[in-house]
Structure 1
Amino acid sequence: MTHKTRGLPAALLALACATQALPAGAADQPTAPARKPAIMIIVPFTHGGPTDELARLLLAPLGKALQQKVVERNILGAGGTLGTEKASKARPDGTTLLLSNIGQATSPSLYRDLRYDPIGDFEPIGLIAEVPMMLVARAGLPAKDLKGLLASDTSALSYAHAGVGSASHLCGLLFMNATRSKPRAITYQGTQEALSDLVGGHVDLLCDQPTNTLKAIKAGQVRAYGVTSKARTDVLPQVPTLAEAGLADVELVVWHGLYAPKGTPRETIERLATGLREALADPALKTRMAQLGAIPASAGQATPEGLRQRLTAEALRWEPILRGASVRAD
């Protein structure tokens, strides 16, 4: 060792020796680009439920559009508020998102002590899809159609839902208001569990999305009385709308949106929204959604402004309904 190297710190000397040992030209070669971190989408509802089903359909096409791995995490509990709170407190860098449904608009009216603002603590990315609901009954119920159901004593029946403020609960509220009846409510952790009990004959009625009920309807395990949208659904065109069957005031379409935590950079939101629109244009995704009765959002709806307008309008719609029914989730 020469006198020029004696004074070098050991770590620096080791680095110098390692550099000298590199093959000729290796130091000039470009480094591989850093791999983008995976995006985690939090779904605040049960695995296998309608919102979860929609989320799982979106993962691959969204990942392809963004050239990034996209994974899902179910964080359920308290009507979807536990997972939503977790998403609201995530780092606003575009790696943690929230996929939620109509509950994002109703929770401000349902909960007095939320530890987050369902509207103010999120940046909308875009609407994903709309899904009508269906009023279904256990196969053994005597009423063969909605007319027969309305002629019976509906207050003597049981009605399953997935918790206060869930889409199935909101549909039940509209049904009770329209029929001026009060069937006995039975709460489940998710509508998948409720549907299982409906098939088993343990409850009488359920209002849920065809993403969850379609197989049971087609198999004859449950009976469909009507769909809650303005028009019939293509997956079961023989099932009338509830308006056709005599319940004009029971209209409900469940919508699903994608959100990022407040403070996420604008350019990140735009990149995610562009990826969402590209994913929703994927023919395979559109086909699969159609098979489940879901309607993909248009390019104009799958935007931050499109989702923001829908969220605001739905919050204004449901606030007086929930207040009038004296419904609280806490």
Structure 2
Amino acid sequence: MASSVPVLLLLCLAAVASAQLSSTFYDTSCPNALSTIKSAVTAAVNKENRMGASLLRLHFHDCFVQGCDASVLLNDTATFTGEQTALPNAGSIRGFGVIDSIKAQVEAICPQTVSCADILAVAARDSVVALGGPSWTVPLGRRDSTTASLSLANSDLPPPFFNLSQLVTAFSNKGLSTTEMVTLSGAHTIGQAQCKNFRDHIYNDTDINAAFATSLKANCPRPTGSGDANLAPLDTTTPYTFDNAYYKNLLNQKGLLHSDQELFNGGSTDNTVRNFASNSASFGSAFAAAMVKMGNLSPLTGSQGQIRLTCSKVN
């Protein structure tokens, strides 16, 4: 019996940790918070379809560095260098203006109540829904960090040149399984990537459809530095619809990034890709569950951190 006590204790601690976030967190303190965020996200995505992918990516890039604490939104200060100039972020993460606008609208109805971290989590969900994807209930109650980490952003965010083993490790380090890694990669069914991030794949890799590679080369010339910022859709089939076409593309060797095609390249994740490619409902439910789990990465709660008045700076 004695040996079961630590196990029981761990289970209790796990329950306490998961209970720190609650879907009803703002029901009393700011009952119109979620509807305000949803309206703003829907308007932003209707204005520019690409914004849905950008807001989803902001949440991902936030959670993988220090946990889901809105650290990615902090501008550089005299005391720390933020995450926005890290290699995976520089010149590519966007949507800050939309988040600032949402924060201002929420502040107007509920001063210093709703965190920037929660806004990112809800905006990610609402972006997916706005583009035809699944919905999920977002646990709330995150608080905002008072610092950010350039070094962690450089080390913890998986770059587009990672191979399968490196991707598995990067997600495992965050407590996410290999299947959840494949699932969350499905976010690339929307959005665009810069030429500098897929140039090596279209010129040097063999696991790519030849006609697909050729179609991309005109907009992504060979000399490094030429056309680096030129964009191509991560999913050429339905670039502005959140669906399972990303996985169908992988079956045809039409993954835009090296890291995308690594998910279907004779390795351990091939069957998961096949499943999601053939079963849209399976992907949708798996994605919703994986997003909730990712959104639970090391949140600040209770008296930790703060509720920032402006998302780009500490109070």
Q: Specify the structure having the higher radius of gyration (Cα).
A: 1
State TM-score, norm by structure 2: 0.28
State TM-score, norm by structure 1: 0.27
Structure having the higher strand fraction is 1
